[in-house]
Structure 1
Amino acid sequence: MWDLLLRGGRVIDPATRTDGRLDVAVHAGTIADVGPQLPAQDALQVTDVTGHLITPGLVDMHTHLWHGASYWGVDPNPLAWRTGVTTWIDAGSAGAYGIDGLRRHVAEPAQARVHALMNVSGVGLVAETGEHHHLANLDVDTAAHAAARQGDFVVGVKARIDANTVGPNGLEPLRRAIRLARLLRRPLMVHVGYGPPAVPEILPLLAEGDILTHCATGVATGLVTGGQLSEATRAARDRGVVFDLGHGSGALDFEVLEVELAAGVQPIVSTDLHARSVHGPAFDLPTVLTKLLAVGWDLPTAVAAATLRPAQVVGIDAGTLCPGAPADIAVFHVDAGDVPVVDVHGGTRTAPLRLTNTATYRHGRLLAPDTAAGPDPWIPLSPAQQRAEDTRLERIRLATPRLDHPDDFDEPFPRPGAAT
């Protein structure tokens, strides 16, 4: 028999080009069948999801999860169960010196799957920035050997290339990151921001399959010029460089994104979720997907950009409901109607719907609710973000009603001496 049958939802699975009202059956942690009106008598548990959206578990390709050991890290468990994310890719929180700790203390206890892009800097993101200032920490051979010991946990390399991270070293950290990625035969993700180095210096060094993250940022000069893709950006697109949104706290400008979309750029949708962006304006992956709907994408395109496509880019078995695949499943309530959304500069657009996760399954197991701790003291929140966080914590405190009337309780055992 099947362990679980989800009945009556709209199933969107870009990997199998599926989009329709179908049932999903699960057995022994894998997808057993997807089809119309599957027999309920063949399932031990039947859940009616009529009117809901069923997708593969979401794959967030740019996150920071090394909580308790890095500046930017967040605990993934309080996020996975309520967002539909079943696969996280940590983007550079740990380098050679910390990658084993990230695997042991974050990935292995996590409810959802966790992989890592290893930072070319051995120190990773223990501080806000500056990890490439000392080139002695960017030892390619040491990093390669550290990655080789991690099996399939490390799926690529990460380098933040902006004025603050590289300091006086210019493009040398990028060159070392490229050498490391080529040694490992895995993709390189490159963060861009305030230069120097400028985007037109960075992009020519990236090869097919490498990833440009923060692709729609408004602060990195040289991505778009005069309302069009720059020559460097156009050449990177044509060469097969992957564009990744990496929303974060400062890397989504609707105007830049719309220029890129008009030029045929199809970005991966990721959050750059970290200890500040989790408080907004990114919040979580369903929120970021809603912003892509606001600039004209349809729902199947958005789902593909957060399931199948990121899984393919980093080469992992995820992002599909194909029979035999891991039963990683997300269920969403779809609220139709005008939904206002904002970019990081206060630009606004209106989405046609909002996605609200109602259930997340990992290997067929429903993820249990979990509650996030408050932000670390070094994370700067705006007054509105701090008020929202205070309100969240207070609501959690008051969420369970008090039961203080005698009639609220059954007496499980008679009092001593009472008649039986």
Structure 2
Amino acid sequence: MSYDLLLTGAEQGDVAVRDGLIAAVGPGLPRDARQVVDVSGRLVAPGLIDLHTHVGPGYWSIDPDPIAWFSGVTTWVDAGSAGAYTWGGLRRVATESAVRVPALLNISAVGLAGRTGENRDLANCDTALAIDTIQANRDLFHGIKVRIDAEVVGVNGVEPLRRGLAAAEACKVPVMVHIGAAPPAVDEVLDLLRPGDIVTHCASGIASPLGPAVRSAAERGVLLDLGHGSGGFAFDVLEAQLDAGLRPHTVSTDLHARSVFGPVFDLPTTMAKLLAVGVPLADVLTAVTKNPADALGLPGGTLTVGAPADLAIFEVRAEQFSVTDAHRQTRTSPIRLVNEATYVGGRLLSPRLPAPPAPWVPLTRAQHAALTRRERHIRDLLATPLVDVDGLAEQFPRTKPRSS
């Protein structure tokens, strides 16, 4: 029986794909495949699942496909870009993207159309409307997102979270809550969460969740998610949590229009930040594959037979790799993960160029200069003929003239 794709030489054995699913895993599989790819010496992982991204419409949005093909991220969970008024735009993104885009519905019906403030008007936090939206779009929405910090909620405190929890309870889905600057106090937020709910920005240098409330939350089954973002991750907070026996259950980027140019860049770079503080590679991989899949009940996250053939192939470079948090603290990872191929449903993702930054994205002079250099390098690369004469064949040979 033939396969569509066969990866040979992986540590797990050969990996065979048929009809978009993993068909077999093991040593010495038959070489009866339309395409055979030798991955000896490479890390073959399930396609990475980023539990916190922003690819839906609005201020924070980015296009996932131009980043997915070189990062290994095959599932991009949109974390609250869309609310009940704006979910149609997110549906179009999910339909048109090459990657998988499950989502969390923002409890605020306006979603993240702007930078902040979506929960200041409680009329937008309509529990019944959120329930109806999820029930009508079960294939798209797998949970509720609520942002709780002083800028977002104004005088409303944790009331938007209470409404989000009520909607989630009715729909039997988890809540992901963003934590940031008080008020309300982070302990007040954590104390409301249920087993299976998710607190993102769990190592925030602004919220600094280091007291007994975060331990109590973790012990009762609340899931800690890194959610790096532009301001949601600090090395010193993560190191203090690790010293206290707390570790992020999931590692996500909060990749969006402001963080994609730094300090986040992509998920493999974020993974290196966990490696830099001593978390083993196997545990980091679990935190970007199986754990996020389990958290939201998503397909994928494993290389078992019958799972989607979402695959990420990496070179593991044994080199010092300097990484930076949201507050310009640096650490050094002992290895660097460099993606070599990304497959979604057994299909290899093609290279695509990312769009330039939106005009409202704040960038440093160094970031602007780096983007200009990158554009010049790309232009030079594409403007140079692909091969010289020795790399060409005569596609339409001349016919010899007939002799008279």
Q: TM-score range by the shorter chain?
A: over 0.9
Counterpart residue number, 1:15: none
Deviation string, structure 1 residues 136-194 (Cα, Å, up to 9, x no partner): 11111111111111122100000110000001211111111111111111000000111
Q: Is the Cα contact below 8 Å between 2:117 and 2:154 reproduced in 1? A: yes
Q: Does residue 1:192 correspond to 2:192, yes or no?
A: no
Q: Does residue 1:142 correspond to 2:129, yes or no?
A: yes
Counterpart residue number, 1:18: none
AA matched with 2:237: V
Query: How much has 1:419 moved relative to structure 2?
Result: 4.4
**Matches of 2:35 and 2:222, distance apart in 1:** 44
Deviation string, structure 1 residues 198-255 (Cα, Å, up to 9, x no partner): 101111111111100000011114x12xxxxx11111111111100000011111111
AA matched with 2:6: L
Counterpart residue number, 1:23: 14
Alignment of 1:92-171 (within 5 A): 92-103=80-91, 105-171=92-158
Deviation string, structure 1 residues 389-418 (Cα, Å, up to 9, x no partner): 222222222222434999587775689x99
**Matches of 1:345 and 1:46, distance apart in 2:** 45
Query: How much has 1:3 moved relative to structure 2?
Result: 1.3
Counterpart secondary structure, 2:102: strand
- 1:254 corresponds, among 235, 249, 261, to 235
**Matches of 1:406 and 1:154, distance apart in 2:** 51
Counterpart residue number, 1:62: 52
Counterpart secondary structure, 2:191: helix
Query: How much has 1:37 moved relative to structure 2?
Result: 2.6
**Matches of 2:174 and 2:183, distance apart in 1:** 23
Query: How much has 1:347 moved relative to structure 2?
Result: 1.6
Q: Is the Cα contact below 8 Å between 1:59 and 1:86 reproduced in 2? A: yes
Counterpart residue number, 2:246: 265
Counterpart residue number, 1:45: 35
Q: Does residue 1:360 correspond to 2:342, yes or no?
A: yes
Counterpart residue number, 1:16: none
Q: Does residue 1:289 correspond to 2:277, yes or no?
A: no
Size of the aligned set, in residue pairs, is 399
Q: Is the Cα contact below 8 Å between 1:100 and 1:150 reproduced in 2? A: no
**Matches of 2:330 and 2:339, distance apart in 1:** 23
Q: Does residue 1:300 correspond to 2:274, yes or no?
A: no
**Matches of 1:419 and 1:133, distance apart in 2:** 83
Q: Is the Cα contact below 8 Å between 1:336 and 1:353 reproduced in 2? A: yes
**Matches of 1:353 and 1:179, distance apart in 2:** 44
Judged with a 3 Å threshold, the aligned counterparts in structure 2 of structure 1 residues 3 and 195 are, in CA distance, closer, same or farther, namely: same
AA matched with 2:239: E
Counterpart residue number, 1:325: 307
**Matches of 2:175 and 2:387, distance apart in 1:** 61
**Matches of 2:314 and 2:395, distance apart in 1:** 39
- 1:89 corresponds, among 60, 77, 88, to 77
Q: Is the Cα contact below 8 Å between 2:233 and 2:326 reproduced in 1? A: yes
Judged with a 3 Å threshold, the aligned counterparts in structure 2 of structure 1 residues 395 and 211 are, in CA distance, closer, same or farther, namely: same
Deviation string, structure 1 residues 84-132 (Cα, Å, up to 9, x no partner): 11111000000001112201x2001111111010000000000000001
User: Which deviates the most, 120-129 or 375-384?
Assistant: 375-384
AA matched with 2:232: A
Counterpart secondary structure, 1:371: coil
Deviation string, structure 1 residues 15-70 (Cα, Å, up to 9, x no partner): xxxxxxx2111111111111123232x2221111111100000000000002xx30
Counterpart residue number, 2:319: 337
Aligned-residue CA RMSD (Å):
1.9
- Identical aligned residues as a percent: 53
Which segments of 5 or more consecutive residues in structure 2 lack a partner in the other structure?
Answer: none
**Matches of 1:57 and 1:305, distance apart in 2:** 12
Judged with a 3 Å threshold, the aligned counterparts in structure 2 of structure 1 residues 299 and 98 are, in CA distance, closer, same or farther, namely: same
Counterpart residue number, 2:377: 395
Q: Is the Cα contact below 8 Å between 1:193 and 1:219 reproduced in 2? A: yes
AA matched with 1:386: H
Q: TM-score, normalised by structure 2?
A: 0.95
Counterpart residue number, 1:73: 61
Counterpart secondary structure, 1:205: coil
- 2:222 corresponds, among 228, 241, 248, to 241
**Matches of 2:386 and 2:41, distance apart in 1:** 38
**Matches of 2:45 and 2:321, distance apart in 1:** 21
Q: Is the Cα contact below 8 Å between 2:179 and 2:200 reproduced in 1? A: yes
Q: Is the Cα contact below 8 Å between 2:215 and 2:246 reproduced in 1? A: no
Q: TM-score, normalised by structure 1?
A: 0.91
